[in-house]
C-alpha cells in the first residue's frame, strides 16, 4: 500500500488527498507549503488552492512561520552619577560676597550675548526679478523653444500579471461554463476557432469541472505584442452520466498575442 511522501500515512491507490496532512497525492510536491486560507498543502507554483480556490498570488504562503524573535531587552543604562554637592564657600568668605560674584557673572554673560547678537549682519535683500524676455517668433512649422516637454508615457503592466489574468479568466469560464467569457480569451486569428467553441460545449455536456489549477512553468516575452509560455493545468472532472471522478494533468505550449491592448491566446499545442 503506498504511503504519503510527507507524513508517511498509508492511503488507497487512486486517492487524491492524504486524510492526515491533506497533501495532494496525485501530484506530490516537496517542501512544507500551505494555503493561507484553509491550511492544505499546495505547490509553490500554484496560483489557486485546489481545496478552497483561494488565490495564492504566484507563490503559496508557508504555514507555521517562525515566530518573530523576541525583541532584545534594552541594555541597562548606567546610572548617572549623582551631581556633587555645591562647594562650600571658602573659609572667611561672607555669603553676601558669594551672591555678588554670581550676579557679576550673570551681568557679564548678558553683555556678551548682546554683543554677539548685534554683530550679526542682516541678510542682503533678494535681487529684483528679471524682466521676461519676449520669445523670438519661430519659423512656421518649427517647434517652439518654450513648448513643454511631452508627458512620459505610462509603463505597461507586467507581462506575467497580464498573462495570469487571461488564464484566470479562462479558469473561471470553464468552471462556470461561460462560453462567451471563454472565447474572449482566444485571438480572432486562432486556428479552428469555431472548433474550439464546439469542443468546449460538448465537454460541458458530458462533464462538470469541480476544480482547476494552473501553473506557468516558463514565460518568454518575444516583443511588446508577443510572448510564449508553458502552462500546466491540473483538472478534476466529474462524469455527468456515471458520476465518476477523473483527475487529469495537461501541459501546453501557448503563444500569446496582444490585440487592442488585451493579451489573448494565438495558438496552443499540448506537450508531454
The mean predicted confidence, pLDDT, of the chain is: 76
In a domain, 247, yes or no: yes
Check pLDDT > 90 for residue 228.
Answer: yes
**Among the three residues 62, 85, 113, which one is the final residue of a domain in this structure?**
62
The predicted pLDDT at position 190 comes to 94
Q: Is residue 145 part of a domain?
A: no
The reply to whether 140 falls in a domain is no
Q: According to the model, what pLDDT value does residue 95 have?
A: 72
231 has a pLDDT exceeding 90 = yes
For the stretch 68-104, pLDDT in tens is 334 444 444 445 455 555 555 455 566 777 777 888 8
Number of domains in the chain: 2
Angle (CA) 22-24-25 rounded to 5° is: 110
Averaged pLDDT, 106-135: 66
Q: What are phi and psi of 11, to 5 degrees?
A: -145, 160
Strands 245-259 and 226-239 come out as antiparallel
- The answer to whether residue 203 sits within a structural domain is yes
For residue 100, tell me if it sits in a domain: no
Report yes or no on 90 lying in a domain.
no
**Reduced to 3 states, what is the DSSP secondary structure of residue 117?**
helix
Task: Name the pTM for this structure.
Answer: 0.46
- Residues of the domain holding 214: 159-271
Residue 200 lies in a domain: yes
Q: What pLDDT is stored for residue 216 in this prediction?
A: 94
Distances 87 to 92, 104, 109 between C-alpha atoms, Å? 14, 19, 22
Q: Residue 259: inside a domain, yes or no?
A: yes
* Torsion 19-24-30-36 (CA) sign: negative
Please say whether the dihedral angle defined by the alpha carbons of residues 187, 248, 215 and 60, taken in this order, is positive or negative: positive
| pLDDT reported for residue 68 | 32
Span 146-185, pLDDT tens digits: 545 554 444 445 899 999 999 999 999 999 999 999 999 9
Q: Could you tell me the CA-to-CA distances from 40 to 21, 60, 61, 209 in Å, in that order?
A: 7, 10, 11, 20
What is the CATH number for 254?
A: 3.10.450.50
Amino acid at each position: 500500500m503506498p504511503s504519503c511522501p510527507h507524513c508517511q500515512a498509508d492511503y488507497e491507490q487512486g486517492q487524491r488527498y492524504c486524510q492526515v496532512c491533506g497533501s495532494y497525492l496525485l501530484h506530490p510536491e516537496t517542501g512544507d507549503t500551505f494555503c493561507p486560507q484553509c491550511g492544505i498543502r499546495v505547490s509553490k507554483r500554484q496560483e489557486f488552492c485546489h481545496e478552497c480556490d483561494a488565490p495564492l498570488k504566484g507563490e503559496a504562503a508557508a504555514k507555521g512561520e517562525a515566530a518573530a524573535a523576541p525583541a532584545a531587552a534594552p541594555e541597562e543604562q548606567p546610572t548617572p552619577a549623582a551631581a556633587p554637592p555645591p562647594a562650600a564657600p571658602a573659609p572667611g568668605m561672607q555669603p553676601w560676597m558669594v551672591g555678588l560674584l554670581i550676579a557679576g557673572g550673570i551681568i557679564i554673560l548678558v553683555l556678551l550675548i548682546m554683543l554677539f547678537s548685534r554683530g550679526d549682519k542682516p541678510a542682503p535683500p533678494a535681487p529684483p526679478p528679471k524682466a521676461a524676455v519676449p520669445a523670438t517668433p519661430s519659423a512656421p512649422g518649427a517647434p517652439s523653444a518654450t513648448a513643454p516637454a511631452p508627458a512620459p508615457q505610462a509603463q505597461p503592466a507586467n507581462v506575467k500579471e497580464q498573462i495570469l489574468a487571461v488564464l484566470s479568466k479562462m479558469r473561471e469560464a470553464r468552471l462556470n461554463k461561460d462560453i462567451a467569457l471563454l472565447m474572449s480569451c482566444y485571438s480572432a486569428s486562432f486556428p479552428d476557432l469555431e472548433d474550439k467553441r464546439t469542443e468546449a460545449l460538448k465537454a460541458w455536456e458530458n462533464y462538470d469541472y469541480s476544480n482547476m489549477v494552473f501553473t506557468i512553468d516558463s514565460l518568454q516575452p518575444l516583443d511588446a505584442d508577443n510572448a510564449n509560455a508553458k502552462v500546466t493545468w491540473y483538472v478534476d472532472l466529474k462524469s455527468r452520466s456515471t458520476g465518476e471522478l477523473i483527475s487529469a494533468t495537461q501541459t501546453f505550449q501557448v503563444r500569446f498575442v496582444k490585440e487592442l491592448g488585451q493579451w489573448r491566446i494565438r495558438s496552443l499545442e499540448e506537450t508531454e
